[in-house]
Amino acid sequence: MEIIWPEKFHPNRAPVHVRNEIDIAAPCERVWAWLIRAQLWPEWYDNASDMQFLSGSGPDLEAGTRFKWRTFSVQIESTVCEFESPHRIAWDAKGTGVDAYHAWLLEPAGEGCHVTTEETQYGVLARTGHLLIPGRMSRGHQRWLEGLREKALAGWPPAI
């Protein structure tokens, strides 16, 4: 399974690209349940805050959901562009100095799930951050994956 990149955001074109992966000893359906429960991200991913749904009822992301949030100290507006439960989700991310595309793949692996997340970015802030603080986005995404693993291993997200 591969990410379906919009042409503009393909890693061969974009100036900023990061890829992180992790294996989680939990079914992909449970990992997915935590990943799409965006309202809870701030509780287990320290780089997400101020989550607000602009369309859709929440608390879960779905195809076409628009949401506003803060990540890497930037206010971002995103729309879920791809949604194939429980295997792939992607959203755009637009903010001051940032135009990005963030995709996730969940693939069964043995008794668990292999999760890949990739993001490409354009924009002055994206390039500056990538040059001045190399590896920052990769480290942030790794924490996101590790938090996702911790939550999925503990059980299903709470009903809201």
pLDDT digits (tens, 9 = 90+) for 54-85: 998 788 999 999 999 998 888 999 999 999 99
Domain contains 128: yes
Percent of the residues in the chain that have a pLDDT greater than 70, as a whole number: 94
pLDDT of residue 109: 95
- Provide the domain limits for residue 150: 13-154
Q: What is the 3-state secondary structure (H, E, C) of the chain?
A: CCCCCCHHHCCCCCCEEEEEEEEECCCHHHHHHHHHCHHHHHHHCCCEEEEEECCCCCCCCCCCCEEEEEECCEEEEEEEEEEECCCEEEEEEEECCEEEEEEEEEEEECCEEEEEEEEEEECHHHHHHHHHCCCHHHHHHHHHHHHHHHHHHHCCCCCC
pLDDT number for residue 19:
96
* For residue 159, pLDDT beyond 90: no
Model pLDDT, residue 135: 81
8 Å CB contact between 117 and 135: no
107 belongs to a structural domain? yes
Report the number of distinct structural domains present in the chain. 1
pTM for the model = 0.93
Q: Is residue 62 situated within a structural domain?
A: yes
CATH value at residue 56: 3.30.530.20
Higher pLDDT, 73 or 150: 150
* Residue 95 included in any domain: yes
Is the residue at 98 inside a domain? yes
43 lies in a domain? yes
Q: 42 in a domain, yes or no?
A: yes
Q: What was the pLDDT predicted at 129? A: 61
Query: Domain for residue 159, yes or no?
Result: no
At 127 the pLDDT is: 63
- Averaged pLDDT score across all residues of the chain: 92
